[in-house]
Amino acid sequence: RFHGEGYQEGYAEGSHVGVVEGRRYGSLHGAKIGSEIGCYLGFAMTWHSLLQKSTDEKNSKKIRALDSLIGMIQKFPYEDPTYDKLQEDLEKIRGKFKQVCSMLNIQSDFRIGTERSSLTF
């Protein structure tokens, strides 16, 4: 009887602690992904605005790549944590960001740490 009661109490306590820890972990990693995606979107929109002023053919290719990146970010499912292709779509966005940086001849370095997050050029 004591074994059964102890098991039930331990199971209930473990479930509660697991939910709390899972929520904290999800919030932390969700914030990191949100920060990363937000930096990519700000970067893309800024460069898109800057390149709109020029009518150069090379810039039209860059603008199309930026449009593609912006579109991918806008379609990203922020509100659905159960989205099964979340990591896959995130990797596609990162790849497109690297492609855009290469087209713009910009060295990018996106770091997220406990001290600070930064996007350097």
Tokens encoding 6: 């102890």
> Residue 9 corresponds to which amino acid?
E
Average pLDDT over residues 15-22: 88
Average pLDDT taken over every residue of the chain: 84
| pLDDT band, residue 121 (cuts 50/70/90) | very low
> Residue 65 corresponds to which amino acid?
A
pTM above threshold 0.75:
no
Q: Is 65 exposed, middle or buried (0-12, 13-18, 19+ CB in 10 A)?
A: buried
Do residues 69 and 44 make contact, with C-beta atoms less than 8 angstroms apart? yes
Q: How many CB atoms lie under 10 A from the CB of residue 100?
A: 22
18 — phi, psi (to 5°)?
-65, -40
Tokens encoding 66: 């930026």
Tokens encoding 25: 């972990």
Q: Give pLDDT tens digits for 34-79.
A: 899 999 999 999 999 988 877 677 788 899 999 999 999 999 887 7
pLDDT for 119 equals: 53
Q: Which of 36-40, 78-82, 107-111 holds the top average pLDDT?
A: 36-40
Higher pLDDT, residue 34 or 113: 34
d(CA 46, CA 57): 19
